[in-house]
């Protein structure tokens, strides 16, 4: 079996994340999709597999086949812009395919390069990604956030409302500014990059899983 790798690039034009290093799971698209096996969003509403970011992922796998050294984390960090504070891992694919030691090494190298941290999510906090507790955010529905937090995770919870201007998710109401809490009463601040102008992942950093911050961060459908 081929060992999965994370392919890294030093810069990004993604306005939500900001211009930061980003990693994609899988040196082939088959490996990338295999990492997502079991995710209920994979074939329905996944922003990656149902969106345009998979095009960049495809291009990276073709480039990796010719020059794999170009897609190492070290190379990406060396090419990052000075304003980069964070890196974003697993933009496509799920990091559950990596060992805890591998993911810890990603965190360590990012900080050794002078960045503040690594933003990372797994859809498999309960299952094949449970070994990444403390190193990744548990991506889940808001109704399930408490059970993950009670086990020691920080959670990234999908909210039952969508961002203004989003045409997908027919029948889902547009966010109206309301406050959210989990079933057990935990406050759920909405991702600032979705609600405030001039904020992106790079300037926010709330989803650094190692950060002492809110137990649950809410994400509007997008």
What is the CA 31 to chain-centroid distance, rounded?
18
Is 126 within the bounds of a domain? yes
Q: Is 136 helix (H, G, I), strand (E, B) or coil?
A: strand
Q: Which residue did the predictor score with more confidence, 49 or 14?
A: 14
Angle at 95 between CA 91 and CA 96, to 5 degrees: 150
Is 31 within the bounds of a domain? yes
Among candidate residues 135, 137, 162, the one with its CA nearest the CA of residue 148 = 137
Total Cβ atoms within 10 A of residue 57: 19
Is 1 within the bounds of a domain? no
pLDDT tens digits for range 113-151: 999 999 999 999 999 999 999 999 999 999 999 999 999
Lowest mean per-residue pLDDT among 101-110, 142-151, 165-174: 165-174
User: pLDDT band at residue 27, thresholds of 50, 70 and 90?
Assistant: very high
Query: Which range of residues forms the domain containing residue 71?
Result: 6-221
Q: What is the pLDDT of residue 47?
A: 67
User: pLDDT band at residue 71, thresholds of 50, 70 and 90?
Assistant: very high
Total Cβ atoms within 10 A of residue 150: 11
Q: What is the pLDDT of residue 82?
A: 97
Is 47 within the bounds of a domain? yes
Structural domain count of the chain: 1
* CA 21 – CA 9 distance, rounded (Å): 6
């Amino acid at each position: 079996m081929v060992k999965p790798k994370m392919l890294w690039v030093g810069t990004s034009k993604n306005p939500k994340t900001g211009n930061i290093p980003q990693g994609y799971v899988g040196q082939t698209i088959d490996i990338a999709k295999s990492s997502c096996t079991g995710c209920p969003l994979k074939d329905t509403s996944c922003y990656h597999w149902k969106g345009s970011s998979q095009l960049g992922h495809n291009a990276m796998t073709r480039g990796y086949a010719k020059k794999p050294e170009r897609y190492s984390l070290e190379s990406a960090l060396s090419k990052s812009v000075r304003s980069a504070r964070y890196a974003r891992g697993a933009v496509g694919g799920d990091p559950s395919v990596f060992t805890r030691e591998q993911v810890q090494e990603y965190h360590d190298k990012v900080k050794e390069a002078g960045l503040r941290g690594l933003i990372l999510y797994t859809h498999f906090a309960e299952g094949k990604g449970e070994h990444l507790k403390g190193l990744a955010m548990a991506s889940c529905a808001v109704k399930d956030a408490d059970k993950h937090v009670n086990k020691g995770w920080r959670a990234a919870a999908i909210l039952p409302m969508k961002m203004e201007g989003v045409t997908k998710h027919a029948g889902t109401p547009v966010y109206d500014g309301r406050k959210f809490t989990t079933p057990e009463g935990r406050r759920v601040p909405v991702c600032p990059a979705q609600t405030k102008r001039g904020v992106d992942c790079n300037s926010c950093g709330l989803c650094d899983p190692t950060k002492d911050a809110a137990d649950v961060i809410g994400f509007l459908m997008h």
